[in-house]
Amino acid sequence: MNAESIKKASAVYFTLLKDKVIDENSEHFQSYFDPEVRQTVLLLADESGTYIIESPKRIHLVVQPTGSVFATNFTHLKEKHKQVETKKHFHLISVVIMSFLAAIDRNQAAKIRMKREGISYYSLERQVNDLIMNWDNILKAKPTFGEEERIDMKEVVTTWKYMEVDTEDYGVKKGNRRTRIGLIASAMRLLETEGLIIILDRDDIPKVIPKNELFERIEYLYHDYDRYELLKKLMATEEEQHAENPSN
């Protein structure tokens, strides 16, 4: 392996570290597919606990779930994102994000609709509320609900139920992280920071538009994880499950 290949591979990898995604318009995109450069980039990724996703028009760099020198635990996430105040909020933000992902990862029609229309913070809040109220009903009949999935359902449900519900204009209270809409905003900012969504109408009724990068993450990465599929199934409310399975 010559010095020029190593130099190009380093440029590709450190650009990915900084930008997380390289698209087909970047000079590094073409460099990456040189066999020696690609081999070196993959080696760098493997050694640092990161993972390369190759799609037709983009290359992604993501952190492996465990064993990464770049892994972000709760403490690091709290330091990087001030909106993540406690583990309770961390868990709720995770539920919001997973609910959002499940909504766009249903079928081709849902994907097209979401790319065209997006989803407002208020629609997402109603979606999450329906989900958590459904969990609340299940917990009453089955107190162990969530243990198999390693989710503290009681804490999630209780925290959400006692969060303030926004009744005023979003613009007045958007900075309040302790309201439900504030929590939605915090969750979406995390995805925006990763370059996976676009947020429109911030000062009116904010709307989230998923970017192609997010759909590629779902297709080329998340679908390979059993836990993602398990949590995605958990995100379906009882009504949605019946809609998807008319025989039930």
How confident is the model at residue 66, as a pLDDT?
Answer: 55
Q: Are both 192 and 111 inside the same structural domain? A: yes
**pLDDT tens digits, 97-139:** 999 998 888 878 888 888 889 999 999 999 999 999 999 999 9
Q: Are both 29 and 79 inside the same structural domain? A: no
Q: Is residue 85 one of the residues assigned to a domain? A: yes
Q: Are both 24 and 83 inside the same structural domain? A: no
How confident is the model at residue 100, as a pLDDT?
Answer: 92
Q: How many domains does the chain have?
A: 2
Q: Is residue 194 one of the residues assigned to a domain? A: yes
Type and span of the H or E element at 52: strand 50-54
Q: Are both 13 and 92 inside the same structural domain? A: no
130 lies in which domain range? 74-244
How confident is the model at residue 184, as a pLDDT?
Answer: 92
Q: Is residue 69 one of the residues assigned to a domain? A: no
Q: Are both 143 and 185 inside the same structural domain? A: yes
Indicate the residue among 63, 90, 114 that finishes a domain: 63
CATH number of the domain within which 47 lies: 1.10.10
How confident is the model at residue 71, as a pLDDT?
Answer: 44
- Half-sphere exposure for 135 (CA within 13 Å, toward CB): 27
Q: Is residue 51 one of the residues assigned to a domain? A: yes
How confident is the model at residue 112, as a pLDDT?
Answer: 86
**pLDDT tens digits, 80-89:** 555 555 677 7
**pLDDT tens digits, 135-164:** 999 999 999 988 887 888 899 999 999 887
Q: Is residue 32 one of the residues assigned to a domain? A: yes
Q: Are both 98 and 205 inside the same structural domain? A: yes
Indicate the residue among 42, 63, 84 that finishes a domain: 63
pLDDT mean across residues, the chain: 80
* 112-115-118-119 Cα dihedral, nearest 10 degrees: 60
> Which pTM was predicted?
0.73
Q: Can you give the length of the chain in residues?
A: 248
